[in-house]
């Protein structure tokens, strides 16, 4: 039986990818890709010390720590823990609020349909890239050095980090706004400020609120970690108890954090659906 022509094989492979083997060229390209991927993975694992044996050996220590966590205790520090937890929520809320308020005008400045000047647009976008390129923990370390220990440093860290992301999201939402409403406002004699206030903002406001609420939900978890570097909140107590191996206290703090974050997630999800009119 004579072999099928190459064009016929390609057509069959395109139509029946799961049953007809590809031609030798595409087949070997796929094999070389997976061989290279596997080699890179093994090289990275060896360099970073990833070892299933080390993980298996550490499971015993993990079991010892889990045993020391039970039963969770607060040793009379419950009022301090609750106060710190409220401080964590305040850090997340104020940081997200500040980032949202700052990102609103920046979003309009970064939108091409509002500011057509390419120099302003390019400079603002690259500046936002720099801001969001620095992790929130790095910002927290910087602001702890600037303003000292405490929740103010955590608020500034969240505000700076979120501004870099929210301003970009806001600008993209504004760019996707329907242009017909803007043209109607201009036809009625409105200036650019009227276009932004009457035509663009009502369209994108539910999307902006939804994104801000999502960031508040995520920042509730981030603010917990910021206390580890001295930015206030419940994370400070958690890091301190882990540092001295007070695992029962650490377990109690974790059990305080988990339902609080879950409640914020549910509330934020409900508010986002409400903002989007669902």
From-to residues of CATH 1.10.3720.10 in the chain: 78-275
Q: Are 140 and 231 in contact (CB under 8 A)?
A: yes
What pLDDT shows up at residue 225? 81
First to last CA, the chain: 63
Q: In the structure, what pLDDT confidence band is assigned to residue 1 with cuts at 50, 70 and 90?
A: very low
The C-alpha atoms of residue 152 and residue 144 are separated, in whole angstroms, by 9
Q: What is the DSSP letter of 149?
A: S
Is the CB of residue 273 less than 8 Å from the CB of residue 217?
Answer: no
Backbone angles phi, psi at 55, to 5 degrees: -65, -45
According to DSSP, residue 142 is labeled H
Q: Which pLDDT value is given to residue 4?
A: 52
79-104 pLDDT tens trace: 888 888 888 888 888 989 999 998 88
**Per-residue confidence band for 21, with pLDDT thresholds at 50, 70 and 90:** low
Give the number of other CB atoms < 10 A from CB of residue 173. Answer: 20
pLDDT tens digit string along 139-185?
A: 888 888 888 888 888 889 888 888 888 888 888 888 777 777 777 77
Q: For 78-275, CATH number?
A: 1.10.3720.10
Q: Is the pLDDT of residue 20 over 60?
A: no
Residue range 216-266, pLDDT digits in tens? 888 888 888 887 777 777 888 888 888 877 788 888 888 888 888 888 888
**pLDDT value for 76:** 76
């Amino acid at each position: 039986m004579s072999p099928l022509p190459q064009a016929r094989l390609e057509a069959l492979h395109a139509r029946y990818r799961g049953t007809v083997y590809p031609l030798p060229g595409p087949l070997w390209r796929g094999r070389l890709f997976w061989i290279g991927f596997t080699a890179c993975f093994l090289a990275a694992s060896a360099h970073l010390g990833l070892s299933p044996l080390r993980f298996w050996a550490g499971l015993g220590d993990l079991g010892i720590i889990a045993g020391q966590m039970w039963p969770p205790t607060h040793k009379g520090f419950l009022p301090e823990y609750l106060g710190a937890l409220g401080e964590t929520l305040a850090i997340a809320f104020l940081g997200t609020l500040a980032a949202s308020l700052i990102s609103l005008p920046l979003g309009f400045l970064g939108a091409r349909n509002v500011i057509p000047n390419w120099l302003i647009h390019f400079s603002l976008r690259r500046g936002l890239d720099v801001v969001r390129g620095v992790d929130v923990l790095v910002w927290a370390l910087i602001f702890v050095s600037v303003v000292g220990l405490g929740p103010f440093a955590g608020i500034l860290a969240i505000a700076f980090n979120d501004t870099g992301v929210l301003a970009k999201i806001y600008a993209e939402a504004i760019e996707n706004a329907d242009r017909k409403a803007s043209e109607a406002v201009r036809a009625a004699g409105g200036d650019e400020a009227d276009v932004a206030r009457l035509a663009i903002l009502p369209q994108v406001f539910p999307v902006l609120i939804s994104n801000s609420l999502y960031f508040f939900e995520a920042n509730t978890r981030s603010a917990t970690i910021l206390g580890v570097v001295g930015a206030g909140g419940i994370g400070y107590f958690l890091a301190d108890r882990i540092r001295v191996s007070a695992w029962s206290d650490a377990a109690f703090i974790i059990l305080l954090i988990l339902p609080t974050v879950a409640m914020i997630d549910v509330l934020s999800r409900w508010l986002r659906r409400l903002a989007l009119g669902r």
